[in-house]
Amino acid sequence: MSIDRTEQNRGRNTSKIPADFPAAPLTLEGYSILHQMFRVRRRELRALDAAKRNAALKDASQLFGEMARREDGETALFSALGHKGDLMIVHFRRSFEELGQAELAVAGLALSDYLEPTTSYLSVIEIGLYEATVALYRRLVENGVGPRSPQWKSEIDSEISRQREKISPRLFPKIPARPYLCFYPMDKKREGADNWYRIPIEDRQRLMHEHGMVGRRFAGEVTQIISGSIGFDDWEWGVDLFADDPLVFKKLVYEMRFDEASASYAKFGPFYVCIRLEAAELGKLFSI
């Protein structure tokens, strides 16, 4: 976005929120997420005694089956397409400590000797409350409540509690059972005039609302889970898209490229497209 365009937006959406109010929107956090990507070491696997290979696969299938049946944060397996890896393991857990336990459990498998890590991604399910934040901040301004005062903190806590109660299921979801997964990380630009973090919060709220409206047109076709990774990994957010038809990924991402929040401010990382793999079918991935 050019400087002129930014100024036009500011003129059209004159912010009533003072500059000393926090620039970041309120957020709600849910499950901690770890994506693990591996490449199968097929040469070493071929050299392994068949009985040992079958025993390793049986133990791994049993562990992943147990993880998939967890009631409070589960694990799902995906067969990855292309050269970036062969197996993606996605863990949803209540805490980083539980993610660490899951990671160690995978590393403890005999099968892990034949899995070469290619990448990983650590994040936490995040729901940004731009709409609620702007509405609350405007109300606080009208009532003469300054930032970080006792009343301010009380109002913030109350709003967070109300929003958490309303959307709690979205914070702690099951991993969607749809057969296709598209995962990618992304940033918001900080480049000259195209700096997301220099835009007033009311303008960011408008842009995110417009961005969200594009996604709603694909409701029912895609299940989207956004996770925040600022301070946790190399990118700022992770996006998981689950669908019954992989062509939806292309259509959704392509259409979103044209909305202002993406066209002017989004930077996309690598894309990983995978097919759901049940624990009992793990042997198919290791067939030699």
Which residues are catalytic, by number? 184
Q: How far out from the chain centre does Cα 287 lie?
A: 31
Rounded to an integer, what distance in angstroms lies between the CA atom of residue 2 and that of residue 184?
27
β-bridge pairing 87-93 and 194-195: unpaired
Q: Which bin fits 48, alpha (ψ -120 to 50), beta or left (φ > 0)?
A: beta
Q: Give the three-state DSSP class for 204.
A: helix
**Structure token pair of residue 173:** 């979801």
Q: Please give the Cα distance from 286 to 42 (Å, whole number).
A: 8
Neighbours of 58 (CB within 10 A): 14
Cα–Cα distance between 164 and 28 in angstroms, integer? Answer: 7
- From residue 148, give the alpha-carbon distance in Å to each of 133, 237, 286: 15, 27, 56
